[in-house]
Amino acid sequence: MSGSPAMNRLVAALKRLPGIGEKSATRLTFFLLSAPDPLAAELADAIVRLKRETVLCEGCYDLTDRSPCRLCADDQRDDTLICVVEEPGDLQAVERSGQFHGRYHVLGGALSPLEGMGPGHLRIAELERRVRSGEVREVIFATNPNAEGEATANFIAERLRPSGVTLSRIACGMPLGGDLEYADHVTVGRSLENRHKLS
């Protein structure tokens, strides 16, 4: 690339982001060069402040600007329900559904021996402590419906079983608006297994 060292440097920095290759990085660099000054300044400042102004909530381990987070501090939510998710992004997905009004617990990942993720890397002890506190009646496992997520849910459920709380797993089936013809056979099979009576 000709251009300036400053351009090469930004291209190199952008290329380290997931899903951004040489061409996207170059395109973004040219865009930022021709964009109004405030846009680039705002982006740079937002990146700088991101980590400085984001902390882990000591209640649910979600990413937040203050601990306890808005959801943990909200006394309108049901303390007897805990929804267990892998990552903060999953918490957001559940929250967007508007179907859950209890508390959350972010594990920080899923069990994955191949990637060196063992039980010690997840916030399982913290979850056990919350369940042992006595108020919790049900733990809903909303880990991802893949091998790692299933294994994680099953592993933690075994650990929590002695506590006597209800342990549940989100349903697997066809996504709304999906097409049976193009769905994978495991999903279709699961949607058959999990069929419910029409009243």
Q: How far is the CB of 86 from its own copies (least distance, A)?
A: 12
Place of tokens 């060196």: 116
Contact status: 14 vs its own copies (CB under 8 A): yes
**Token output for 72:** 């943990």
Q: How far apart are CA 152 and CA 110, in angstroms?
A: 6
Contact status: 101 vs its own copies (CB under 8 A): no
Q: Render the burial of 67-76: b for 16+ CB within 10 Å, e for the rest.
A: eebebbeeee
Quick one: 37 or 195, whose CB is closer to its own copies? 37
Question: Looking only at residues 18 through 37 of this chain, which bind its own copies when binding is defined by CB under 8 A?
Answer: 18-19, 23-24, 26-33, 37
Nearest to 60 by CA among 31, 29, 37, 94: 94
Quick one: 89 or 189, whose CB is closer to its own copies? 89
Name which position in 21, 53, 118, 186 contacts its own copies (CB under 8 A). Answer: 53
Name which position in 21, 73, 79, 92 contacts its own copies (CB under 8 A). Answer: 92
Name which position in 89, 118, 119, 189 contacts its own copies (CB under 8 A). Answer: 89
Residues in contact with its own copies, counted by CB under 8 A, come to a total of 59
Nearest to 103 by CA among 148, 147, 133: 133
Q: How far is the CB of 128 from its own copies (least distance, A)?
A: 24
Contact status: 91 vs its own copies (CB under 8 A): yes
Nearest to 140 by CA among 111, 96, 102, 174: 102
User: Length of the chain, please?
Assistant: 199
Name which position in 70, 101, 129, 161 contacts its own copies (CB under 8 A). Answer: 70
CA distance to 33, 72, 156, 194, per residue, from 169 (Å):
49, 22, 12, 12
| 116 φ/ψ sector (left φ>0, alpha ψ -120 to 50, else beta) | left
- Please choose, out of 82-90, 151-159, 162-170, 186-194, the segment that lies near its own copies by the rule CB under 8 A: 82-90
Contact status: 143 vs its own copies (CB under 8 A): no
Site of interaction with its own copies (CB under 8 A): 1-7, 9-10, 12-14, 16-19, 23-24, 26-33, 37, 39-55, 62-65, 69-71, 87-89, 91-92, 95, 181-182
